[in-house]
Amino acid sequence: MSALICGSIAYDNIMVFPGRFKDHILADKIHMLNVSFLVPTLRRNFGGCAANIAYNLKLLGGKGAPMATVGHDIEAYRERMLKQGIALTYVKQVDAEFTAQCFITTDLDNNQITAFHPGAMNQSHIQKIPTNAGIKLGLISPDGRDGMIQHAEQFAAAAIPFIFDPGQGLPMFEGKDLLTFIDQATYVAANDYEGQLISERTGLSHEAIAQRVKALIITRGGDGSTIFADGKRIDVPCAKARVVKDPTGCGDAYRAGLIYGIEKGMDWETIGRVASLIGTLKIESDGPQNHTFTMAEFATRFNEAFGRTL
């Protein structure tokens, strides 16, 4: 094993609202919000950050495994991951809990409203980072609060480089917590909103955060991504999608591209483009784990998108 991906394994209940949230949410009524959306489309997908990243990393041919706590309702998901060849060595079942459940409503502008029940994920701290399993790179993605803190400490104590990717878990941490994570981490990844929130809570600019780690990666959706590394700002274009179906899991796909590129020792311009492309391939399919491709197909799309060979 090369990468250990700490985070959630979850069932995603994805609903599509055939309208736009902005037409139904009144800015002057936010303090007394009571809105109902009719969602004629509902899908139940396999998701969770750790599982999504592991799925995408497997597609790329990278080496890694998820580490997560799951509930008594995990069997269908377990069978699926085993069929995909994803190692479950570090997936622990907590019988008294449900597996994490996510309820996502997406509108016609691809905006999302999400409700999340953590279930067994809140017990993530009962697992410890294995220090003798050949781990070359770790990733801390949204998980139970105590688990995120302890796993970061354990990666750092074992001198295992890791990516800190707080994602939806960001509201659980104050500025001092985030500063500790940043100083322990080797890389920090966030979307544009999360990156701004991290800066506000820590008092550090993106450039200042980048000086404390090897790289700060900020994703910007359709506007591409920005990587601050080696004293430089690298703006990475977004690969154009042939069709836009569902943004759920695009950020996780991007993180798998980061892991793959770091594992392969690629330069940051290439890493960013690999990550961008797999995020684009994900958005062309419904759900976070329903897209597939061969590496030959990936290389062709890479050349088409960026005018360079992989």
What pLDDT band is residue 124 in, cutting at 50, 70 and 90? very high
Whole-structure pTM value: 0.90
Superfamily in which the 3-22+41-306 domain is placed by CATH: Ribokinase (3.40.1190.20)
Question: What residue type is 262 in one-letter code?
Answer: I
Q: What is the distance, to the nearest Å, from the Cα of residue 120 to the centroid of all Cα atoms in its chain?
A: 19
Instruction: Quick: pLDDT tens for 27-36.
Output: 777 778 888 8
User: What pLDDT, on the 0 to 100 scale, is given for residue 112?
Assistant: 85
User: What pLDDT, on the 0 to 100 scale, is given for residue 225?
Assistant: 97
Instruction: Quick: pLDDT tens for 219-258.
Output: 999 899 999 999 999 999 999 999 998 888 999 999 999 9
- Which of 67, 71, 73, 42 has the alpha carbon at shortest distance from 53? 67
Q: What is the mean pLDDT of residues 3-20?
A: 94
What are the domain boundaries of the chain? 3-22+41-306
Q: What is the mean pLDDT of residues 148-164?
A: 98
**The token pair that represents 216 in the structure block:** 């700060």
**The token pair that represents 285 in the structure block:** 């399919």
Q: What is the 3-state secondary structure (H, E, C) of 66-130?
A: EEEEECCCCHHHHHHHHHCCCCCCEEEECCCCCCEEEEEEECCCCCEEEEEECHHHHHHHHCCCC
Given a cut of 60, is residue 1 above it in pLDDT?
Answer: no
What is the spatial distance between Cα 157 and Cα 220, in angstroms, rounded to a whole number?
Answer: 32
Instruction: Quick: pLDDT tens for 251-302.
Output: 999 999 999 999 999 999 999 999 999 999 999 998 899 999 999 999 999 9
Instruction: Quick: pLDDT tens for 70-109.
Output: 999 999 999 999 999 999 999 999 999 999 998 889 899 9
